[in-house]
Chain A
Amino acid sequence: MFPVKVENLSYAYGTRRALADVTFSISQGEVFGFLGPNGSGKTTLFKILSTLIPADPAAVNILGHQLGSGLQSIRQYLGVVFQHPSLDQKLTVTENLRHHGHLYALRGNTLKQRIQETLDQFELTDRADERVETLSGGLQRRVELAKATLHRPKLLLLDEPSTGLDPGARRSFRTYLADLQETTVVLTTHILGDAEACDRVGILNEGKLTAVGTPDELKRQVSGDIVIVDSPVPEQLAPKIDQQFGYGVALIEGTLRIECHNGHEFVRDVVAAFPSEIQSVRFAKPTLEDVFIKLTGRHFAEDKVNENSEVLKSNHI
Chain B
Amino acid sequence: MSAIAQPLIFWLLLGGGLNASFNPPGVPEGTSYIEYFYPGIITLALLFTTIFATISIVQDRREGFLQGVLVAPVSRSVVVLGQSLGGTTLALFQGALLLFLAPMVGVPLNPFSVFSTLGVMLTLSFGLTNLGLIIAWRMDSTQGFHAIMNLILIPIWLLSGAFFPVSGVPLLLEWTMKLNPLTYGIAALRRCLYFNASTISQEIPQLTLSLLVTGLFCVVTYLGAALTAHRRPNAA
Tell me the A residues contacting B by CB distance below 8 Å: 13, 44, 47, 50-54, 72-73, 75-76, 78, 80, 82, 84-88, 100, 103-105, 147
Contact = CB atoms under 8 A, between A and B. Distances in A.
A103 B67 CA distance: 12
B172 interface: no
Interface residues of B, number: 17
B74 A103 contact: yes
B233 interface: yes
Given A85-B63, A105-B73, 9 more contacts: A44-B236, A51-B233, A52-B67, A72-B75, A80-B67, A84-B62, A85-B64, A86-B65, A147-B68
B71 A75 contact: yes
A72 B73 contact: yes
Contacts of A104: 72-73
Contacts of B73: 72-73, 75-76, 103-105
A47 B234 contact: yes
17 contacts: A52-B70, A52-B233, A53-B234, A54-B233, A72-B75, A75-B71, A80-B67, A80-B68, A85-B63, A86-B65, A86-B67, A88-B65, A100-B72, A103-B68, A103-B69, A104-B73, A147-B68
Given A82-B68, A147-B68, A53 B63 contact: no
A78 B73 CA distance: 9
Given A84-B64, A88-B65, A51 B236 contact: no
Nearest to A52: B234
A13 to B, nearest CB: 6
B111 to A, nearest CB: 36
A87 B62 CA distance: 13
A84 B74 CA distance: 21
Contacts of B70: 52
Interface string B50-93: 00000000000011111111111111000000000000000000
A52 B70 CA distance: 7
B100 to A, nearest CB: 27
Cβ-closest 7 pairs across A and B: A84-B63, A103-B72, A75-B73, A86-B68, A52-B234, A76-B73, A86-B67
Contacts of B236: 13, 44, 47, 53
B64 A86 contact: yes
Nearest to B78: A103
Contact of B71 (A44, A54, A80): A80
Contacts of B68: 80, 82, 86, 100, 103, 147
Contacts of B234: 47, 52-53
A75 B72 contact: yes
Interface string B139-162: 000000000000000000000000
Nearest to A105: B73
B76 to A, nearest CB: 11
A72 B74 CA distance: 8
B71 A52 contact: yes
A223 B64 CA distance: 45
B53 to A, nearest CB: 15
Interface in B204-236: 233-234, 236
Contacts of A88: 65
